[in-house]
Amino acid sequence: MEKNRKVRIGKVTSNKMAKTVVVQVENLRRHPLYHKVIKHSSSFKAHDEDNMCNIGDVVKIVETRPVSKDKRWRIVEIIRKADIVGALKEDVETGKSGEPK
């Protein structure tokens, strides 16, 4: 039965919910008329039982039975953990900081 389930690899964009993460999956598609390659992204809510995922992690998700109204995917494995130093560096470059001004 497992062989018919869809598998996607994407990046965690939000982990604010309890036992749920939002995973963004990017695909490349060719425009039907102009034949330019366009980046297309889709977001999926996935079940994360142990709250192990953080923003920026690259994860593998698999299709499963409906867990809630919006969740139809679950986390199978964390392929790559987010680089915490890199995430902090991006916040500094964009002007976002954890300290109040």
**What pLDDT, on a 0 to 100 scale, did the predictor assign at position 82?**
85
Integer Cα distance of 51 and 62 in angstroms: 17
Alpha carbon separation from 75 to 21, 31, 32, 81, 101 (Å, rounded)? 9, 31, 33, 14, 37
**What pLDDT, on a 0 to 100 scale, did the predictor assign at position 56?**
94
pLDDT tens column, 13-51: 999 999 999 999 999 999 999 999 999 999 999 999 999
- pTM metric for this prediction: 0.76
pLDDT tens column, 64-79: 999 999 999 999 999 9
Q: Are 7 and 60 in contact (CB under 8 A)?
A: yes
Q: For domain 2-94, give its CATH number from 3.30.43.10, 3.10.20.30, 2.30.42.10, 2.40.50.140.
A: 2.40.50.140
Integer Cα distance of 33 and 14 in angstroms: 35
